[in-house]
Amino acid sequence: MAAVEAQKQMARLWDLTGATLSAPLELPHDGAAHAVAFSQDDRWLITGGGGPWREGSPPGPGKVHLWDLHDDDPTSSASVLPGHDVAVCTIVTSSDGRWLASGGRGSDRVILWNLRSDDPSGSSRVLSLPENAEMLTLVISPDSKWLVTGGVDNHVRVWQLTENGPSASPIVLKSNTAPITLVMWSPNSRWLATGAHDGSLRLWDFSANELQSSAKVLPGHVREILSGTFSHDNRWLVTGARSDVARIWDLGVDDPASTAVALRRQSDGRYVAMTPNSRWLITAGMQSTQAWDLDIESLLERARRVAGRGLTTDEMRQYSLIEP
């Protein structure tokens, strides 16, 4: 487990395998530390940051630090991956253990590194973004085939990843209507959800023959999309927005917007998460945290108590509880 302290030139690494928690290993960091990630094979710890770490300090270039956890002393073999012009705030790794992608909020570039290279520091690929299209968010698909950025120009850019590297130019998805604040994949890499600062939310089907025309509009949010989560079975999408209720979308129907459910018991559900077994949904706002039981029988029993009756056949069809 790793913890990063922003505003200080330090990352700390704890070993959780022992019976007691030992003192952390302190990892000196060049500039403030803003982001942390592990590679999928647990060999590498990656920290990102740079820029001023003390108020009033001049800005500096962004840095990515690579720590080899197979080394008895990771500090002795640490390497710095240069190339960023602003502080690095986002680090993602691919599930196949090959790729590390790093970016700075508002930067005109994303840098891709090959962690399987003998020298990852010499394997960088720079993905340049157009003028006025600086990056706000970054993600790699679970199947390691796609790298996605969301920008201030309202567009989403998608690079295909192969063993030889990224595609020469990205696919540009243009359906959102404000700067992109969320890009998120379903576990099976079929669905890409993109959310924006104005609450616009789109769902893209990467199994479709025509990706550009596959966008589904998911209306309802009116403020900045801040978070989202897919269920483990890829059936449900839950999204949270600033000063807004969380919403549940059924991806098993042709039009998820037609059966969307707003969780109105909590007026500020800006952050959402789901347990690995998809039984519990957690929503959190500025004032409270709420746990929602998603077990279908529990939900049906609650609906019966509220309505004072059983669900009609039409209601069962509407909520996909029986075949149409």
pLDDT given at position 6:
45
Q: pLDDT tens digits for 249-293?
A: 999 999 999 989 888 766 778 999 999 988 899 999 888 898 888
Which SS3 state, helix, strand or coil, does residue 255 take? coil
Distance, CA of 99 to CA of 289 (rounded, Å): 35
Residue 159: pLDDT band (50, 70, 90) is very high
Backbone angles phi, psi at 253, to 5 degrees: -110, 160
> pLDDT exceeding 90 applies to what percent of the chain?
55
pLDDT given at position 317:
66
More confident residue, 16 or 144: 144
Q: pLDDT tens digits for 47-60?
A: 998 865 445 555 56
**Averaging pLDDT over each range in 28-37, 134-143, 298-307, which range is the top one?**
134-143
Residue 238: pLDDT band (50, 70, 90) is very high
Calculate mean pLDDT across residues 221-242.
Answer: 94
> pLDDT exceeding 70 applies to what percent of the chain?
89
Calculate mean pLDDT across residues 32-43.
Answer: 89
Q: What is the largest CA-CA distance in the chain?
A: 68
Residue 4: pLDDT band (50, 70, 90) is very low
Q: Evaluate if residue 38 carries a pLDDT over 60.
A: yes
Looking at CATH, the fold of the domain delimited by 2-174 is given as: Methylamine Dehydrogenase; Chain H (2.130.10)
Q: Domain ranges for the chain, please list them.
A: 2-174
Beta-bridged to residue 290, according to DSSP, are 283
Beta-bridged to residue 225, according to DSSP, are 241
Own/partner long-range contacts of 243-252 (Cβ < 8 Å, ≥24 apart): 243/267, 243/268, 243/270, 244/199, 244/268, 244/269, 244/270, 245/269, 246/270, 246/272, 246/281, 246/283, 247/218, 247/220, 247/221, 248/281, 249/203, 249/218, 250/319, 250/320, 251/186, 251/191, 251/203, 252/320
Contacts of 306 (CB under 8 A, 6+ apart): none
Distance, CA of 257 to CA of 261 (rounded, Å): 9
Q: Evaluate if residue 114 carries a pLDDT over 90.
A: yes
